[in-house]
Structure 1
């Protein structure tokens, strides 16, 4: 069977037309089952991230509170105390990547005298404005900008107490997103669990991943967006003790595109000393595109800009808005397929041979990350998310409709086998539920492959989970409950369930959902603290092994499931 990742790739960068993008995702969602690169799946989910990120914030106190100060290597910063913690917002970790620094590795920030205010959210990376960003958003963040290399810190106190540090990578498929998004606000995690939360903004899209190193002389970087994250991690290692964090106990974690970034960090030699454990959530990037593909993408970008390789210095002068137009139009017109082994990948992390020397998990786990515990898992109903913003036809399909939709990817005896397998595994499921189960299961399949690779390393443990809470909120215009779709974990693991409920995905305020949030946030904080996810009122979570494949079933009442959906797992194994 041939892969269809290039079809999905046509959607990933189309952030100016989110509804059209999501409709296209639904039409292509079955491509997941045909071996598509997981990064494509990750990116598509957040074409509508503005709605997701604007939902479910902590209750923010009105008015300014007491100001607290902390020292960094570059100067002192002043944060604000509110909601029972201290927030340092917009702390520079690198120099603005402007002018001649565009497409280059990040440089250290300039030192300053006096005390710098760090009380407002910084500019998100350059991208299409909307949602929470800029004058057309809800006002939480300023407009996107190239001057974006800042991070936010939520801490119980800037007191040198050496608390666990939770360094979160925001989602958005390398294309959109922000370390200031409401749903992932670190206030509740910091206050409830006595941890320090750090989130960075970093270059995205063309500005973060256009690779010119093989087309021009000079010091053009590969994976400059990942180098930004590396610089933010290094800053955290060097300075976080002054903010109440432990530089010797740093967890990196992220969901969707942020999970892909976390997997890349797990594979970067220069990050080895900068973190100690990781969690890869709703993402399973076994492979990344190649250096050759990134170079081919750069050549195509130059053509669209009307430039040759000798004109590369002009890229420093082209307005960022023009680069964004090219980035988006290329995706919209279908000339930038995304996938592996497709020779023309989209903008995102790739195997360059040095910064990222290998694929994350397709050929085992990097030896230098052997001692780092890992969490990995998915939401139970990931692909439901991709159909939430289009006419609800798919939620009403009958058996014939199920076969019709699946036939976009599977044919003949294989189509019969997959339908029969999932009917047997889930005998009470409706045709629509089977459709989403079948299109979600490859994500879980590849998460299992990550866990198996970590088990085979025989070093640090790996812990597997599924978010299984069945959110009863129905898709508008249907009687279909959304269950646990992609991105539904964000607010839960950050314990952000009390405000900004304008997006129906987060409207459920039932005791069951609130209990799930308590369990999930406590487990993640427990993993940050000890390298083993522990929490009160939750069963002991054993490490994953090939013998019992123990998996935490995250719900209002958590339980450990042995080898969940075994027949479905075996179906994928036998198909490989």
Structure 2
């Protein structure tokens, strides 16, 4: 068990914060990076936090932004329930090795389908990652769901003041530039990493003109291919939320009303074998490029020096293992689903996925194909685009298997391994019954790669062959499985 030492105080230009020291790592929780510019307006932009006098306590779990229970609670558990919720949770956490000096910085952006999660949650405790890597680790909150991306009538075709989630994250990265040196971090060596929706933001921040100079590398864990909404689509989604809530002004609604209406919209859009997506960033000049997934163009405009990108082997099992109608799907149902997704090529894809998993079932066929469409295909396409543009990108696959029936290696499974904090995931079914030795071996391999990437711009070398940047002429991928890691060919799904 980590040994708690004594409290420690760091003085910032805006005030002093008092955190804790534990086994050579200093921890500061719930540190404000911003506040609403107009406190009475929930759609307000964020501004730098006001200064305070005295010492601000930074030793307890901070609030997270308002949210309903995650649809992945059956996979991840309910650990975030320990955090209070607030519309003013403009907070981040910092873990820094004691006596750190100009150390690289790893900023982690949580996932949650743009609707849930929080960087202040104990799930993302960065103590062990900071200790083992020598990096200063930062985790951050941002506004979620409609509170993060709602557009009101006056903004639909004008200045478009949606994208509060994006602006929150840029403000947090500005805070890092302003203050991280006080924790021993180097503001010139910032890697922004994120998982799922957080990977989306890490990808966006690596190409957006608005974030240039705020990060120099990015790491995407399970990046979904989801083009930004158009302003018109976002406006229609916002009107639908108001209609579901029976209101004309989001400012007149309670938080519970907003969350209930969001949930109603999500359920209405859910379908067989589908992963329903709610509010998300909106195309906006200078901030959220409408060409975000025009990959050759994105590779050309990226302003990061190096990227790491990967996915779990069985991503969408996380969303489907608890859906009996998918688990028990018949072959005819699976083939009909393929026809809706792949059109005239449906049976060609069905055969390709079957060949890739000899012990396939209709359920695994849907899991594999839906995960490929949302996560796997775009990873390969980004790697190819970056390779063509001469930009180093390091791909990986996370293949450790859950012991839960039908869950396999699902979305989010790599998170406890990344942070190495199994004790904060005690109610997470996805890691229950994974042997301690497996957890430690795979976790050490994964954390070592991330630490090396954050420190040198290249992931740690593998036991037999150096982990080279992706090369379309010889496509290979690092595979993290229960034995640690290996370096394997990355075959395309279908031969050219």
The interval holding the TM-score normalised by the smaller chain is: 0.7 to 0.9
The 1:431–1:356 alpha-carbon spacing in structure 2 relative to 1, beyond 3 Å, is closer
Instruction: State the shift of 1:268 in Å.
Output: 1.8
Equivalent residue for 2:122?
Answer: 182
- Separation in 2 of the partners of 1:355 and 1:244? 30
Given that 2:92 and 2:138 are in contact with CA atoms closer than 8 Å, whether structure 1 keeps it comes out as: yes
The 1:540–1:335 alpha-carbon spacing in structure 2 relative to 1, beyond 3 Å, is closer
Instruction: State the shift of 1:110 in Å.
Output: 0.6
Instruction: State the shift of 1:220 in Å.
Output: 6.9
Given that 2:110 and 2:118 are in contact with CA atoms closer than 8 Å, whether structure 1 keeps it comes out as: yes
Given that 2:245 and 2:261 are in contact with CA atoms closer than 8 Å, whether structure 1 keeps it comes out as: yes
Instruction: State the shift of 1:483 in Å.
Output: 3.0
Q: Is residue 96 of structure 2 the alignment partner of residue 155 of structure 1? A: yes
- Separation in 1 of the partners of 2:358 and 2:80? 47
Instruction: State the shift of 1:325 in Å.
Output: 2.7
Identify which of 404, 407, 410 aligns with 2:333: 404
Q: Is residue 440 of structure 2 the alignment partner of residue 517 of structure 1? A: no
Equivalent residue for 1:27?
Answer: none
Q: Spell out, residue by residue over 1:241-274, the C-alpha distance to the aligned partner (whole angstroms, 9 max, x if none).
A: 1012111111111111111121221232121110
Q: Spell out, residue by residue over 1:183-227, the C-alpha distance to the aligned partner (whole angstroms, 9 max, x if none).
A: 321111011111111011111111111123744899872301110
Instruction: State the shift of 1:387 in Å.
Output: 2.7
Q: How does 1:458-469 map to 2 (within 5 A)?
A: 458=390, 460-469=391-400
The 1:544–1:219 alpha-carbon spacing in structure 2 relative to 1, beyond 3 Å, is closer
Q: Is residue 287 of structure 2 the alignment partner of residue 287 of structure 1? A: no
Given that 1:98 and 1:147 are in contact with CA atoms closer than 8 Å, whether structure 2 keeps it comes out as: no
Equivalent residue for 1:253?
Answer: 193
Q: Is residue 25 of structure 2 the alignment partner of residue 85 of structure 1? A: yes
> Which secondary structure state, in structure 1, belongs to the residue aligned with residue 478 of structure 2?
strand
Q: How does 1:128-527 map to 2 (within 5 A)?
A: 128=68, 141-157=82-98, 159=99, 161-212=101-152, 214-215=154-155, 221-285=161-225, 287-304=227-244, 315-334=250-269, 346-364=278-296, 365=298, 367-391=300-324, 395=327, 401-410=330-339, 414-429=345-360, 432-442=363-373, 443-458=375-390, 460-471=391-402, 473-475=403-405, 482-497=407-422, 500-507=425-432, 508-527=434-453
- Separation in 1 of the partners of 2:66 and 2:408? 33
Equivalent residue for 1:542?
Answer: 468
Higher relative contact order (CA 8 A, sep 6+): 1
Q: Which runs of 5+ in 2 are unaligned?
A: none
Q: Spell out, residue by residue over 1:313-337, the C-alpha distance to the aligned partner (whole angstroms, 9 max, x if none).
A: xx4454333322332233334499x
Given that 2:92 and 2:141 are in contact with CA atoms closer than 8 Å, whether structure 1 keeps it comes out as: yes
The 1:84–1:141 alpha-carbon spacing in structure 2 relative to 1, beyond 3 Å, is farther
Given that 1:122 and 1:141 are in contact with CA atoms closer than 8 Å, whether structure 2 keeps it comes out as: no
- Separation in 1 of the partners of 2:424 and 2:290? 42
Given that 1:129 and 1:144 are in contact with CA atoms closer than 8 Å, whether structure 2 keeps it comes out as: no
- Separation in 1 of the partners of 2:334 and 2:357? 18
- Separation in 2 of the partners of 1:416 and 1:174? 33
Equivalent residue for 1:8?
Answer: none
- Separation in 1 of the partners of 2:450 and 2:299? 23
- Separation in 1 of the partners of 2:404 and 2:245? 45
TM-score (norm 1): 0.76
Q: Which runs of 5+ in 1 are unaligned?
A: 1-58
- Separation in 1 of the partners of 2:349 and 2:289? 36
> Which secondary structure state, in structure 1, belongs to the residue aligned with residue 5 of structure 2?
coil
TM-score (norm 2): 0.88
Q: Spell out, residue by residue over 1:334-366, the C-alpha distance to the aligned partner (whole angstroms, 9 max, x if none).
A: 499xx9xx9xx8411121223213332324215
- Separation in 2 of the partners of 1:60 and 1:538? 34
Count of matched residue pairs: 483
Given that 2:79 and 2:122 are in contact with CA atoms closer than 8 Å, whether structure 1 keeps it comes out as: no
Given that 1:286 and 1:359 are in contact with CA atoms closer than 8 Å, whether structure 2 keeps it comes out as: no
The 1:137–1:543 alpha-carbon spacing in structure 2 relative to 1, beyond 3 Å, is closer
Given that 2:63 and 2:120 are in contact with CA atoms closer than 8 Å, whether structure 1 keeps it comes out as: no
